[in-house]
Amino acid sequence: MRFVDEYRSGEVAARLAERIAALVEPGRHYKLMEVCGGHTHAIYKHGVEDLLPDEIELVHGPGCPVCVIPMGRQDDAIAIAERPEVIFTTFGDMMRVPASKGSLLDAKARGADVRMVYSPLDALKLARQNPEREVAFFAIGFETTTPSTALTLLRARAEGARNFFVFANHVTIIPAIRAILDSPDLRLDGFIGPGHVSTVIGTRPYRFIARDFGKPVVVSGFEPLDVLQGVYMVLRQLRDGRSEVENQYTRVVREEGNLLALRAIADTMELRTTFEWRGLGFISQSALKLRPEFADFDAELRYEVPGVRVADPKACQCGEVLKGVIKPWECKVFGTACTPDHPIGTCMVSSEGACAAYYNYGRYAGRRRREAAPA
Amino acid sequence: MADRREQEVLDAIERRRRRPTRKLLDQQITLAHGAGGKSTHALIEALFLPELRNPVLEQLADSAVFDANGTGGPRLAFSTDSYVVRPLFFPGGDIGELAVNGTVNDLAMSGGRPLFLSAGFIVEEGFPTEELRRVAASMAAAARSASVEVVAADTKVVERGKADGLYVNTAGVAVLDSEVELRADRVRPGDRVLVSGTLGDHGMAVMIARGELELEVELDSDTAPLNALVGALIEAVPDGLRCLRDPTRGGLATVLAELALAAEVGIAVDERALPVSPQVNGACEILGIDPLYVANEGKLVAFVAPEKADAALDAARSHPLGRDAAIVAEVRPEPPGLVLLETAFGGSRVIDMLAGDPLPRIC
């Protein structure tokens, strides 16, 4: 397939792997965080770690949009979905996220009208097709998906839609990265920076990581060669003693981002004072809600929801996994009580969650690594 | 130290995968129980099997194989399947053709010759007679081309809104020639795994036909009767064929994961060898779905002794339904119960059964 295969070439990967190995200082351990769940998925799906020397450890970051939605918000979503007048629309992965009393898939089995959509525009279309019903859209995601919600809101207003509502849960990546850098639990050497988020926000917002924390950042694409080249570029900075924001994903990401998308977001949404993230707790100014001008489309104003904070199940360590403090297999319930078919935590649900990626794809990697290592 | 703990966790997962599900945790049936992956297995193991258990059912193969007791007759294969596809008519086929081919293929995987089918129609009140006629006609055409006859049938009509237009059930019998013995436990390390053609065509064609994705892709379902292709394989490599499977729901990945567990072998898949059409590849890439998990309705997976693999491949490729056949994997002694994919990128990953429906990634 053109524009895909060239970023998955085994021959190019092997050459790049050699150059990475040559950059490794003997005896030094490198801990790099890939911020995005998309990276985590690509790393496991293509077996990228198999090409890296043992000295390089990839730590999975918080950039999995499904994973960071806290239990209380999921309960609120189900409460909206269970209203008889509502057609509740959501991206596929959110259907299986466990809330206090089962998932949206369970609510659907109980009779709630829950439908999977690929885009908020599909939800708006459903609203047009069902004028006697109310269509609510479960808006989640980082800056990658926020512009599509923003543009849908603009279109809904232009069309004069009266039965379309957005349950906004959009989050922003920078506060989450800052929270991880501020946390004493983790010593990172550098970052594989978000690719798609950066197409929207550009590369400038990451400068504080390089400037204030002295860590290299390389914004990278999502094909396995992108990730491998991102690792190479971070290691090159470390060898040279530099800490800068570099852009590996130049075919898509501009330094200034996408101004039209940013304007659409600013026109429709504004920062919340604070928002709860699963595992990371409350982070100030880290999420978006609809602006007052769009109150008529705001599901949080339209429907009464429980709106209570619900603690994660005790055994669940998604928070530690999301911060990169523990590996998926270090969680007490990983693979036993918590599996992809019966997930307890969000990291086991989303294909971008570190636990699901490790369980589904990476399970054999550890054993092979140990067998290859000299006794 | 950390490595040892990781290995303990991985070993615990493997032990758990091997243990049949004793208790169904779900309080209600969800769509995942019908997707053919882990939830379907749990439902069968924890609910149906304990109630209906017998030595034939316990095999849990595509079709049940048994002796026609006391009659001195040949061994028979028996199978049933229900069809609830939406839309009823899709590029490359319709529910009628699918219902005939599906049961013919389940029977053919036993190595038997399918002979007779039954058909049950559950029709929604208000369903257009003309569409039912079209379905019946396409069943007749499919039966003719598979050389089977529909010899028993039943019709029920349910109230408007109850059956989404039309559901069809078919069941069928096949006779097995005495020497044919195709079973998972005959698979041995060294065996090669052959797939008869491109993967994921049916599932993707139906998803696109629903029109919800707004993708414009020219793609036909691969629905086809495989009994003639199976016959050609048995004739070409009578003693080399170990086991056949029909990679429908859950796709090739689920079939291989089931086989690895059943035969306690490892299976190493070469990603570069997997035949996937550019249309399916492109649509899967956009939707974030792995073609390995997408349903096929006219493809088989054959486990073949290594020395017969080339002959089997030649035989498959000389048949119109096996033109794109390829050897995609090899059975290995290690690691037992696991399927590993060697990626084109140069890494490797595990392939497990499907959990839930193949839901797309969102960014």
Q: Tell me whether residue B258 is exposed, middle or buried, using C-beta atoms within 10 angstroms of its C-beta: 0 to 12, 13 to 18, 19 or more.
A: middle
A115–chain B Cβ distance below 8 A for any pair: no
For A111-123, b where at least 16 C-beta lie within 10 A, e where not — what string?
ebbbbbbbbbbbb
Of A337, A330, A329, which is closest to residue A358 (Cα–Cα)? Answer: A329
Contact A89, A122 (CB under 8 A): yes
Query: Residue A4 is which amino acid?
Result: V
pLDDT at B61: 83
Helix (H, G, I), strand (E, B) or coil at B350: strand
Q: φ and ψ at B297, to 5 degrees? A: -125, 5
A336–chain B Cβ distance below 8 A for any pair: yes
Chain B contacts in chain A segment 217-246 (CB below 8 A): 224-225
Nearest Cβ partner for A93 among B10, B343, B362: B362
Chain A residues touching B212 at Cβ < 8 A: 118, 122
B86–chain A Cβ distance below 8 A for any pair: no
SS3 letters across chain A: CCCCHHHCCHHHHHHHHHHHHHHCCCCCCEEEEEEEHHHHHHHHHHCHHHHCCCCEEEEEEEECCCCCCCHHHHHHHHHHHCCCCEEEEECHHHHHCCECCECHHHHHHHCCCEEECCCHHHHHHHHHHCCCCEEEEEEEECCCCHHHHHHHHHHHHHHCCCCEEEEEEEECHHHHHHHHHHCCCCCCCEEEECCHHHHHHCCHHHHHHHHHHCCCEEECCCCHHHHHHHHHHHHHHHHHCCCCEEECCCCCCCCCCCHHHHHHHHHHEEECCEEEECCCEEEECCEEEECHHHHHHEHHHHCCCCCCCCCCCCCCCHHHHHCCCCCHHHCCCECCCECCCCCCCHHHCCCCCHHHHHHHHHCCHHHHHHHHCCC
**Structure-block tokens of residue B49:** 């099997």
The whole-angstrom separation of Cα A7 and Cα A5 is: 5
Q: Residue A374: is its pLDDT beyond 60? A: no
A122–chain B Cβ distance below 8 A for any pair: yes
Q: Tell me the DSSP string of B200-252.
A: SHHHHHHHHHT-SS-------------HHHHHHHHHHSTTTEEEEE---TTHH
Q: Residue A90: is its pLDDT beyond 80? A: yes
Please name the residue that has the structure tokens 């060697």: B342
A259 vs A8, residue with greater confidence: A259
Tell me where in chain A the CATH 3.40.50.11740 domain(s) lie: 1-313
Chain B residues touching A360 at Cβ < 8 A: 350, 352, 355
Q: Residue A104: is its pLDDT beyond 60? A: yes
* C-alpha distances in Å from residue B318, one per residue of A357, B196, B242, B312: 40, 11, 20, 10
CATH number for the domain running over B63-180: 3.30.1330.10
Would you call B362 and A91 a contact, using CB atoms and an 8 Å cutoff? yes
| pTM of the model as a whole | 0.89
Chain B residues touching A329 at Cβ < 8 A: 5-6, 9-10
pLDDT in tens, A169-196: 999 999 999 999 988 777 899 999 999 9
* C-alpha distances in Å from residue A240, one per residue of A58, A220, A235: 20, 20, 9
Contact A32, A53 (CB under 8 A): no
A100–chain B Cβ distance below 8 A for any pair: no
Query: Residue B86 is which amino acid?
Result: R
Please name the residue that has the structure tokens 């550890």: A366
Would you call B363 and A142 a contact, using CB atoms and an 8 Å cutoff? yes
Cα Rg, chain B, nearest whole Å: 20
Which one of A46, A126, A169, A201 makes the best mutation probe of the B interface by having the most chain B beta carbons within 10 Å?
A46
Chain A residues touching B359 at Cβ < 8 A: 92-93, 95-96, 116, 351
Q: If you average pLDDT over every residue of chain A, what do you get? A: 92
Q: φ and ψ at A328, to 5 degrees? A: -50, -45
Q: State the architecture of A1-313 in CATH terms.
A: 3-Layer(aba) Sandwich (3.40)
Percent of chain A at pLDDT exceeding 90:
74
pLDDT in tens, A338-357: 988 888 888 998 878 999 98
Of B86, B21, B25, B11, which is closest to residue B50 (Cα–Cα)? Answer: B21
> Helix axis angle, B95-108 relative to B129-146, nearest 10°?
30
Contact A86, A113 (CB under 8 A): yes
Q: For chain B, which residues make up each domain, given as ranges? A: 1-53, 63-180, 184-351
Q: φ and ψ at B62, to 5 degrees? A: -60, -35
User: Which parts of chain B register pLDDT below 70?
Assistant: 1-2, 69-72, 356-363
The whole-angstrom separation of Cα B341 and Cα B338 is: 10
The whole-angstrom separation of Cα A180 and Cα A188 is: 10
pLDDT at B62: 83
Which DSSP letter does residue B33 get?
G
Of B204, B323, B325, B347, which is closest to residue B274 (Cα–Cα)? Answer: B325
Nearest Cβ partner for B39 among A14, A65, A341: A341
Chain A contacts in chain B segment 288-327 (CB below 8 A): 288
Q: Return the CATH class of domain B184-351.
A: alpha beta
pLDDT in tens, A18-41: 999 999 999 999 999 999 999 999
Which chain A residue's Cα is nearest to B337?
A: A364
pLDDT at A368: 61
CA angle A334, A336, A338 (to 5 degrees): 60
pLDDT at B70: 60
Of A328, A305, A242, A284, which is closest to residue A59 (Cα–Cα)? Answer: A328
pLDDT at B360: 38
pLDDT in tens, B326-349: 999 999 998 999 999 999 999 999
pLDDT in tens, A136-161: 999 999 999 999 999 999 999 999 99
ipTM field: 0.84
Chain A residues touching B38 at Cβ < 8 A: 340-341
Q: ω before B335 within 30° of 0 (cis)?
A: yes
Please name the residue that has the structure tokens 């270090």: A330
Of A134, A125, A77, which is closest to residue A100 (Cα–Cα)? Answer: A77
